[in-house]
Structures are given as structure tokens and as C-alpha cells.
Copies of this chain bind each other. A is one copy, B any other.
């Protein structure tokens, strides 16, 4: 069967009450669906995206070459089988791919929010998705799957909407963002803020399309380090030197330097810098225990079947951070969860690139 890719945007006029106490209204949520909703609406699988991801997680748009960010995992006859499941992925609140974010129009002022945009949390992102699903008349889903910030959303669904999903898979995430990850985000935030073209958030939107902000490129380079590992870098780049560059030229480049440059500068052309500030803020302040006395108390809320996946060499969100959730679930007698630590040396990126290491596992969970 075909993927049946559809992209939609829903507009909401009711106020969205945020964790911060602030209100967002009106707001839009853009989302993408694949496959077909069955009659009793029992085949919905929700996909949650990461920091710079979007609702476009599978298939390829007509005018583009690049497939969605989890295309290897989602599609007809793939692990998340769109012949069987109706897959929905929303662009998170605060992002820049259609859902309301800092560069959206601030009603009724006919100007962008920019710094006037409220800080949103992972919980807010999940709440907005829940409201979207209500609008779509979907009140319970088969599964929720996400990695990295998507894995945080999956955990947030588990704790705050315990009756919403049968199964939840959270991978390459954490129960609370630790200082190592916050530090990497800090480098990126500071690089953006100090870029003179950023102009305290009042940058010219055209500059993004044309050349991007070099500050964000620098920040993204730091981000890429955190997504990789010593082993993956050694294998991928080693000490290979760029052809034609002299070793003793100050600006001669190792392959790893070219990789970071390419990815850093390319990124600035398709991602919005204010959005980067807001989404990294949401990641930094993520703590699934907030509002509870402890992680134990938070985990007592979980009713869904919860599957935790970490990657051994993930240096951004360490495997022991995921394992701690597992330990806590064990300690409160939760019999309805699993934890696997996948042997990978790809670092954090493993959840995007080493699909063969976990696709069967995901498939079994969804079909089991």
C-alpha cells in the first residue's frame, strides 16, 4: 500500500494554559499522518520528534529528495507499519515548521512573538498534542514512540495522560536533563545570542534563508559533538585530512572539521534561531518529576506498557539516566515495563541511524 502521507494544520482559538502560568491563544498545530485510521480508531501510533525534527517523519515530499527523519522505521511493511497503523506526528509547540512558535504572528499585534513568546515545556508540547487528538476525535491511541526530546514527550504522556496510550516507547532520553546536556545547549544559545546578526531576537527573517546565522552554525557544531561518540568519530573521520589542504596551513582541515562546518552552516539555513533558544530551554528544564515529590511518585502514575531504550554510548543522555527510570519502576513494583540498553557506538545519533539495532524490537512491541 502507499504511505498516504498527509500534512495538515489545525487552528485552536481556545486558550492553552501553559506550565509557566502564561496563556497562548490562538495557536496552530501542524501534523502529518500516514496510513489509514481504522474504523474503531484503535490503530493510532503517535510519533514524537526531537529538538530540530518536525512532523515530517516519513516519506518524501514531491519537490524534495530528503525523506522524513524516521523514514527507515515508518512506512508500508516497515517496523512501524503504515499498512497496519495510522501514524501521526505533530510539529511541537514552539517549533518553526508550522506549529505556533516564537516567529509566529502574535495575535492581534501583527508582529512576531520573538522574545514575547512564552517558555514552553515538554509537558506543554504534549498537552497541545492531546488537544489536537481530541479535535481529531482520537481519545486513546495504540502507541507513542519517540527518541531524544521525543522520548521525553513519550515519558510525559506516560505520566500525565496515563490512560491515553496502550504502549509507550521512549528512547535515548532522560528523566531529567543533566548538566552535560544543558552545557551543550548553553554553548549554542550563547553563540546565537552573541551573533550580531541576531539583534536581540529582532533579526531579519530573510537572513536565515539566505545565509543563516554563523552563531547558530557554531552552536550546532557543538551540538553535533554531543550527538556522536569518540568511537563513531574515530570510525567516521579518524585523522583523515581534507585533500589539498596542507597540514601546516592554519586553516587546513581534518575531515571532522569539514563535517562540522558543513552540517553547522547548512543547519542555519533551515532552522530558526529563536526556536533553537526556546526548544533547548524546554529540554533543559525537562524533569519528569516536576510537581511530584520524587521520580518514584511520578512513575506511580504510569498505566501504559512502558518500554525504555537507551544506547550504550549515548553521551548526551547517558544510558544510566534511562536505567534509573527502569530501576524506579522496579522499585515500585511496576510489572508492565521493559528496559533495554542497546549496544551501539554511534552515540546519541544511534536512535536516528542504527535502526537495525532496534526496529525489530519496536515492531514486536507494537504488534505484541
Chain A residues close to B by CB (< 8 Å): 19-22, 115, 118-119, 121, 176-180, 182-184, 186-187, 190-191, 194-196, 214-215, 217-219, 221-222, 224-225, 228-230, 233-234, 236-239, 247-250, 254-257, 260-261, 264, 277-278, 281, 284-285, 287, 315, 318
Contacts and interface: CB of A to CB of B under 8 A. Distances in A.
A330 B220 CA distance: 41
Given A177-B239, A234-B179, A194 B214 contact: yes
B239 A187 contact: no
Given A186-B256, A190-B217, A215-B194, A225 B180 contact: yes
A182 B21 CA distance: 44
B247 A285 contact: yes
A182 B250 contact: no
A256 B183 contact: yes
A228 B187 CA distance: 15
A214 B214 CA distance: 13
15 contacts: A121-B248, A178-B234, A179-B236, A179-B237, A180-B228, A180-B230, A183-B225, A186-B260, A187-B218, A190-B260, A190-B261, A194-B214, A194-B218, A250-B277, A250-B278
A318 B183 CA distance: 20
A119 B246 CA distance: 11
B186 A284 contact: no
A277 B249 CA distance: 12
Contacts of A184: 225
A254 B284 contact: yes
B254 A221 contact: no
